[in-house]
Amino acid sequence: MKGASFRAVLHVDLDAFFVAVERVLDPRLCGRPVVVGASPSRRGVVAAASYEARAFGIHSAMPMAQALRLCPNLVRVSGTHGAYGRASRAVFDVLGNYTPVIEKVSVDEAYLDLTGTEHLFGRAVDAADRMRREVRERLRLDLTIGASRNRLVSKVASAFAKPMGLFDVQPGQEARFLAPLPVKALPGIGPVTTRRLHDLNIPRLGVLADTEGWFLEEIFGNYSKPMQRRARGEDDTPVSPPWERHEAKTIGHEETFAADTDDHAFLRAKLRAQLESTTRRLREKGLLARKLTVKLRYADFVTESRDATLPVATDHDIELLQPALELLHRMATRRTLVRLLGVRLGGLVQGYWQGGLFDPRARRSRRLVSVLDRVRAKYGVQAVRAGETVWLAQAENRRHGSFLG
């Protein structure tokens, strides 16, 4: 419609950011297969890989030893972490000249809302092109940018434009752009949902968008409607700068073990210790969590995660322990050693726990938690520990037992 006003949202991604910064510091790395990450002797994994390294099948999270086998001429750099932060700040200083509405997702990724800036910079795609040129000329770093009228489509468009590209999806063309893409290209559709959709002969987003809603609801329940809307490119999620949202969307802890394990008792104890640490951080920030996620990564790097929505928001590890153990048990279906375990709390809301008037046992439990927090704040987190976590410290190197318990 002539004269219609649309939102203008960019998804900005710095290409192979860690490697790119290392190349600015040492130009001799340019054109060579490069990875950033710890030594294979320390069970290091690839944190970032250049496009030359990716041509050998190397990718982030791959064991460094495997990466070196795939590419004997690979150059490994341990990483200059202070430089990454400085480079990121310099890039965001440039982006801030175009709009104050910036949601920084990570050190190398952000959403920008340029709605209403046309009289200053012209169309969003033109402003995006200026950003790319300015960052390249001033900082010698490359941006990939997706542009559309919402953040979902812009995110997919930037992935489509990699590397070092710019892709603009015109208003009204969102569904047409997404239709030929595989379902896994849509943020929020993970490996498990992808497999289920493929089993239903729904390989592409256009097919998903056109499938009868009642049929999808039978399979995916309440998740089916938002999934179909997103497959059509419909998304009204705002770009939220820091002053409009909590600094942390989730709080969590995960650990890669020194030795892979199939000891279920060890994993239970480790999960409890992680919940204690994570909920302590919740209480320090005055936050409650509504969502719990448990993550497992196996020795063959297959990664699984399961979520649970809590009936009442909480900051207490005891209230989270049983649902967390149930999620762990539901994932314990493979007879493969476990490499990593993690827990993450989301759906964060500001507030403090309030118990029921006629629940004295819960109130006693809360008073105990408060006392323990004060003791640990004064004498250290190891001053008071649950028996299971004491056992854990003695069991770090155990390699026997059954994961399936």
Give the pLDDT of residue 399.
40
Hunting for tokens 């209230």 — which residue is that?
319
How does pLDDT run across 5-52, given as a tens digit for each residue? 578 999 999 988 999 999 999 999 999 999 998 888 767 789 899 999
Please name every residue paired with 342 in a beta bridge, in sequence order, or none if there are none: 254, 295
Max CA distance (Å), the chain: 71
Per-residue pLDDT band at 219 (split at 50, 70, 90): confident
Is 109 catalytic? The answer is: yes
Label residue 312 exposed, middle or buried (CB < 10 Å: 0-12, 13-18, 19+). Answer: exposed
Per-residue pLDDT band at 79 (split at 50, 70, 90): confident
Residue predicted with more confidence, 357 or 372: 372
Which residue in 109, 118, 254, 326 is the catalytic one? 109
Distance of CA 47 to the CA centre of its chain: 14
Give the pLDDT of residue 390.
47
Q: Structural domains in the chain?
A: 1-168 (3.30.70.270), 175-231 (1.10.150.20), 246-394 (3.30.1490.100)
Give the pLDDT of residue 287.
83
Label residue 342 exposed, middle or buried (CB < 10 Å: 0-12, 13-18, 19+). Answer: buried
The model carries a pTM of: 0.62
Per-residue pLDDT band at 397 (split at 50, 70, 90): very low
How does pLDDT run across 222-263, given as a tens digit for each residue? 888 889 999 999 998 888 776 554 455 788 888 888 788 888
How does pLDDT run across 254-300, given as a tens digit for each residue? 888 878 888 888 899 999 989 988 988 888 887 888 889 999 988 87
Rounded CA-CA distance 78/39 in Å is: 7
How does pLDDT run across 116-157, given as a tens digit for each residue? 888 889 999 999 999 999 999 999 999 999 999 999 999 999
Identify whether the C-beta of residue 178 lies closer than 8 Å to the C-beta of residue 231.
yes
